[in-house]
Amino acid sequence: MIEILLLSGGVGGTAAALWYAAPAGRGLHRYVVPRARLRADIVRLEREADELTCALLRLSTENTAIGKDRDAAHDALAETRLRNHELGKQLTAFDQLCSENTQLRAALANARAVRPLPVDDAPTVPQGIPVLPLPQAPFALKPGEPE
């Protein structure tokens, strides 16, 4: 964009130099511009064109460097997105393992739980052994009493 702008300025300067150097046919042929002034204008315009050319080359070089930086950033972004996707998969698998672990711990806690057997479900009832709740059991010492 800037290159086109600077090039347009250079072309405009050249057009202006041609306009003032060749006035014949536009009604300006009666006005004679001194040759020294025309030469000075041409030298000035050529200097401006050279400066604009240098600026154009400098900006073009900077544009190339910025383009390389942009491409490197784009590649880094693509790699980061890929890693983010892989980490998302790992996080999903980790969450699944955590939920399975929680379920297994709950099942293990339920399997190891100590609770009084209900009298109705006692496995010794069919063989004639009476099963009583712990506080009603005939112990010499009841639980919680001092010895």
Q: Write down the pTM of the prediction.
A: 0.41
pLDDT tens, residue by residue, 47-72: 999 999 999 999 999 999 999 999 99
**Considering only CA atoms, which of 92, 13, 91, 3 is closest in space to residue 49?**
13
**Considering only CA atoms, which of 34, 42, 39 is closest in space to residue 17?**
42
pLDDT tens, residue by residue, 10-39: 777 777 666 666 655 554 555 677 889 999
Token pair for 84: 């983010």
Whether the CB-CB separation of 56 and 7 falls below 8 Å is answered with yes
